[in-house]
Amino acid sequence: MLLHIIARGKIGRSPEADLVDRYVKRLTMPYRITELPEGSGKGGGGRLPPAGPGTITVMLDEKGRQLSSMDFARRIEGWRDNGARECRFLIGAADGFDDTERASADLLIAFGAMTWPHMMARAMLAEQLWRACSILSGHPYHREG
C-alpha cells in the first residue's frame, strides 16, 4: 500500500523538511509526497490528484479524532490487509478543510487540540507513519508506557 502525503504549501529547505526526510526514508512501505499550492488555484492547478479505486483518504483536521500511535498503526494495518492500494494523508492550508471536504474523508485525525503549522504537521505525520511501520514490523522503536 502506498502511503501518500499530500500537503498544501511548500516546505522548502528547512529543519522540518530534514525531519520529514529522516522519517520517510525509514518507511518500509512505499511512499510519495505531493505538494500543492496554498490556494486551490484556477484551472485545477491546486486540486488533488484523482484518487483511484482502493484509496483511503485521511485528513489531518482540528475536528478529527485523536488516535494513539498503536490505534493509528492498526488502522494502517487493516487498510493494507483489506487490499487498499493507497492511503492519502491530506494536510490543508491555513484555513483547513471545509465541511464538504471533511465529509469526503474516510477518517479525520488531529494531533491534539492545538493548531500546528503545516510544516510541523508534515514532520509529525512522517514520524507517526514511521512509528506505525515500526509497530507493525515488531521493531522496538515504539514503547508502550
**How wide is the angle at C-alpha 51 spanned by C-alphas 43 and 115, nearest 5°?**
80
Residues 5-57 have pLDDT tens digits of 999 888 889 899 999 999 999 999 999 999 998 765 443 456 777 888 999 99
Q: Which amino acid is at 58?
A: V
User: What's the confidence (pLDDT) of residue 43?
Assistant: 39
- Model pTM above 0.85: yes
Within a domain: 38: yes
The answer to whether the annotation marks 116 as part of a ligand binding site is yes
Backbone angles phi, psi at 10, to 5 degrees: -95, 130
Within a domain: 116: yes
The answer to whether the annotation marks 114 as part of a ligand binding site is yes
120: three-class secondary structure by DSSP: helix
Domain of residue 39, CATH code = 3.40.1280.10
Residues 94-109 have pLDDT tens digits of 777 888 888 989 999 9
Within a domain: 70: yes
Within a domain: 45: yes
Within a domain: 22: yes
The answer to whether the annotation marks 113 as part of a ligand binding site is yes
Within a domain: 74: yes
pLDDT at 145 over 80: no
Q: Whole-angstrom Cα distance, residue 73 to residue 64?
A: 17
The domain tally of the chain equals: 1
C-alpha cell of residue 122: 508534515
The answer to whether the annotation marks 60 as part of a ligand binding site is yes
Range of the domain at 68: 2-137
